[in-house]
Amino acid sequence: MRSLLISVSLAFIAFAGYAQDETVRISQVNSAIPTQQGDSVKLKIDGTSAYYQKTVKVDTGIGVSLIYLRALQFMAAKNFQQTYGFEQEGKQIFTTTQDLNTNPFTIGNYLDNIDPFTVQFAITIDMKKQRYRYTIHNVIFYRPTDTGNQRMTLYEMYLRETNGDSRSIKKDARKVVDAFEKYISSLTAELRESINHKAMIYDTKF
């Protein structure tokens, strides 16, 4: 019996050591993966319209034609639908529908509640030499309820966040807006890197 207990103890110690090694290894791998700095996004209110807009400067030598081409390639890779495009005017419009989550599931945190929602929006890109302006507009949220999907515009969500009847309503609206802003922050940062050809895929160091 004593020999059995010693064997079990040794096996447990060996397993714990292996698990710790694996945790360290995974942590080291994650640390080695470069993280992308998200773009700063700021909500703008104009009457009953709510949107995000920013002008971005690009590298010297990148004109309208190149911005147009690289933006088109980037949006195509993201499966965005182009609804308008005219290079001579320097304008593109894309639309998309995305499924997001206010509390995204992460490895090792199994207690997070899944809180999904769907968002539809358009992004307009206006271009000039060495700069472009993106406008994220026509944002509509769809959230599942017991009676079906609840439809709310970005402006309506903004009103809930700022003028909600209760703290829980304000907090809930803030969670949705935060999740969306996190998504578009990453999206617009990737767009900027792709237009400048600074994404990892274009790295000349290998």
pLDDT in tens, 132-150: 999 999 999 999 988 888 9
Residue 53: CATH number of its domain = 3.30.530.80
The single-letter code of the amino acid at 75 is: M
Answer yes or no: is 65 within a domain.
Answer: yes
For strands 148-153 and 91-101, give the pairing: unpaired
Give the per-residue pLDDT at 25: 42
Q: Tens digit of pLDDT for each residue in 163-193?
A: 988 999 999 999 999 999 999 999 999 999 9
- Global pTM reads 0.77
Answer yes or no: is 23 within a domain.
Answer: no
State the residue range of the domain holding 123. Answer: 43-202
Answer yes or no: is 135 within a domain.
Answer: yes
Answer yes or no: is 27 within a domain.
Answer: no
Q: 17: which 2 tokens? A: 């050591």
Low-confidence residues in the chain, pLDDT < 50: 4-5, 8, 10, 12, 15-16, 18-35
Total number of domains constituting the chain: 1
| CA pair distance 91, 134, nearest whole angstrom | 10
Alpha carbon of residue 50 to chain centroid: 19
Answer yes or no: is 89 within a domain.
Answer: yes
